[in-house]
Copies of this chain bind each other. A is one copy, B any other.
Amino acid sequence: MSEITTIAESIKPLDESFFTAANERLDSLTKPRGSLGTLEVIASRIVAICEDPRPLLDKKIIFTFAGDHGVTDEGVSAFPKEVTPQMVFNFLAGGAAINVLARQAGADVAVVDIGVDYDFGDAEGLIQKKIVSGTKNMATGPAMTPEEAGRCVEVGIDLALEYADRGYKLFGTGEMGIGNTTPSSAIIACLSGLSPREVTGRGTGVDDAAFENKIKVIEKALEVNSPNKQDAMDVLAKVGGAEIGGIAGLCLGAASRRIPVLVDGFISTAGALIATEIEPKVRDYLFASHKSVERGHQAMLELMNLKPLLDLDLRLGEGSGAALGMNIVEASLRIYKEMATFAEASVSEEEKSNQEKQAN
Contacts and interface: CB of A to CB of B under 8 A. Distances in A.
B79 A350 contact: yes
B348 A86 contact: yes
A248 B12 CA distance: 52
Interface residues of A, number: 67
A44 interface: no
B204 A334 contact: no
B90 A355 contact: no
B31 A316 contact: yes
Interface in A39-84: 39, 78-80, 82-83
A220 B89 CA distance: 66
Contacts of A207: 353-356
Contact of A38 (B39, B101, B312, B340): B312
Contacts of A33: 205
A342 B96 CA distance: 10
Given A104-B330, A330-B104, A350-B205, A97 B324 contact: no
Q: Which 4 A-B pairs have the closest CB atoms?
A: A95-B340, A37-B313, A32-B204, A207-B353
A129 interface: no
A312 B39 contact: yes
A96 B210 CA distance: 53
A147 interface: no
Contact of A335 (B97, B327, B346): B97
Given A37-B314, A96-B340, A101-B335, 5 more contacts: A33-B205, A34-B205, A35-B204, A95-B339, A103-B338
Count of this chain's copies in the oligomeric assembly: 2
A93 interface: yes
A80 B348 contact: yes
A101 B334 contact: yes
A3 B29 CA distance: 41
A314 B83 CA distance: 41
24 contacts: A30-B87, A31-B97, A32-B316, A35-B314, A37-B312, A37-B315, A78-B350, A78-B353, A79-B348, A80-B348, A86-B348, A89-B346, A93-B340, A95-B339, A96-B339, A96-B345, A100-B334, A100-B338, A100-B339, A101-B334, A205-B350, A207-B354, A310-B310, A311-B311
A333 to B, nearest CB: 10
A310 B308 CA distance: 11
A39 to B, nearest CB: 6
